[in-house]
Amino acid sequence: MPRLAALQDPRLHRALPWICGLVAALIAAKNAIGGYGDIGIYLDVGREFVAGGIDIYRDRPNAGPWAYPHIAALPFAFLHLVASNTAARWIWSALLGLGTALLLRATAGALRPFGGLRPWQWLVFGVLFQRCLAQNMTHGQLSLWVGTFVAIGIQDLVLGRDRRAGVALGLAAALKLTPLLFLLALPFQRRPRAALWMVGTIATAVLLVPWPFCGSSEHARHLADFWRTITGALAAGGGSSIVEAYAGPSISGTLDYLLQARPVNADGNMVNLLDLSDGTLRLVRLGWSLALAVLLGLWFLRARSYPTAQRLALQCGAVALAIVFYAPLVRVYHLAATMLPFALFCRGPRGHRDWLWWLTALMVLFSMTLRQRNLIGETLWRAFDAGGLLHFALVAMLVWLVRDAKFRAAQ
């Protein structure tokens, strides 16, 4: 019993995110020092930003184009100016560790109105979803900080700090466009003040902050290049290296590969159940998108029967899952912005007969384990990864969360 009491010690709960952050920084450093990876691309962009006159949004071999607003290049430009290549990698690894700690701390804060998670529930959370954070470390991904700002914004919204929430969510959207969905949701959450602060933060970060660092003409060119890259990717259909390079848990990243014969890697391997025409595939995607929209809307509406803080947390969880489903391209490390609905799922099961929770947890465990490639082999792992197992696991999770919202509201 003393050991169980020690697990409930609030000092341990406060220290745990920072311990995880330290571990994350070490993982990031292990992969970043001496390698190239995403941190190498970021440092290249920072160097090009400083040099000026270079299209940082050009298509890069084996990486695709840089797809962030050019304010995201500023930290790496600063690292290029003040540190050697190796020192810059150490600094970025430390920043990734800090972001991990803040993300976990904010997720725990957003769960406070629900009474938080018990130690065994945090253990389940770590086992099922650690890959979302671990891949950010192994790739040195900027998406970790996008997820961190989203988590901080949700926590502040839940705690009634609308201005701070709008600023944090605005910073997330200034780094990556997908959190803009929160801007559409905030008025329906009865948080217009947070929406206004989010708009102001995005405008300031994207349109004003980079301006003094690169000059008017360069600033305007970067904005035009970014707009061309994003709109071109969305309009290109099958021709964009951004949206066509990877099967993932989004709707397009699952159905496109299951229902048409498309290569899922550089070797040309394909995993598809059918080979539908483009028109038929569009109809199937539309129908599936509408079905998920109904489920997300139902969860969003059912949250209205909860107290304000819990309502906002549940509705933010619905928005975070909507981003995953509807984004053109989603990889596992992008799911760092989805920690809240994942943590809400880890409050279950409601008993050993809660078969939907257990089945969903098993699907997530199989699709998100870091060593699954070694367990079942490259070919079979690739088949399940491209076969949408994680997508359907997240859909099952959404169904469970919708059902759970009704069950707990009735208690």
Calpha distance 145→172 (Å, rounded): 8
Q: Residues 143, 150: contact at Cβ < 8 Å?
A: no
The amino acid occupying position 212 is P
Strand segments, DSSP code E, in 130-260 are: none
Residue 279, judged by CB atoms within 10 A of its CB (0-12, 13-18, 19+), counts as exposed
Q: What is the per-residue pLDDT for 1?
A: 42
**Is the Cβ–Cβ distance between 113 and 310 less than 8 Å?**
yes
pLDDT at 83: 86
Low-confidence ranges of the chain (pLDDT < 50): 1-2, 4-5, 237-239
Residues 6+ apart with CB under 8 A from 349: 357, 358, 361
Beta bridge partners of 270: 263
- In tens, the pLDDT along 365-386 reads 888 875 566 666 656 666 666 6
pLDDT the model gives residue 2 = 47
* DSSP secondary structure, 352-398, as one string: TT-HHHHHHHHHHHHHH-TTHHHHH-HHHHHHHHHTTHHHHHHHHHH
pLDDT tens profile 270-282: 777 778 888 999 9
Task: Give the chain's count of helices (H) and strands (E).
Answer: 20, 0
Amino acid 31: pLDDT: 81
The C-alpha atoms of residue 391 and residue 255 are separated, in whole angstroms, by: 10
Interatomic CA distance for residues 180 and 61, integer angstroms:
28
Residue with tokens 């048409």: 260
Average pLDDT, the chain: 87
∠ CA(236), CA(237), CA(243), 5° rounding? 90
Tell me the per-residue pLDDT of 168-197, one tens digit each, with 9 for 90 and over: 999 999 999 999 999 999 999 999 999 999
Query: Count of alpha carbons within 13 Å of 382, Cβ hemisphere only?
Result: 14
Rounded-to-integer distance, Cα 386 and Cα 265, Å: 10
User: What is the reported pLDDT for 4?
Assistant: 44
* Cβ count within 10 A of residue 292: 18
CA pseudo-torsion sign 240, 246, 252, 255: positive
Q: Which amino acid, residue 196?
A: L
pLDDT at 8: 60
pLDDT one-digit tens code per residue, 319-354: 999 999 999 888 889 999 999 999 999 998 888 889
Query: What pLDDT is stored for residue 274 in this prediction?
Result: 78
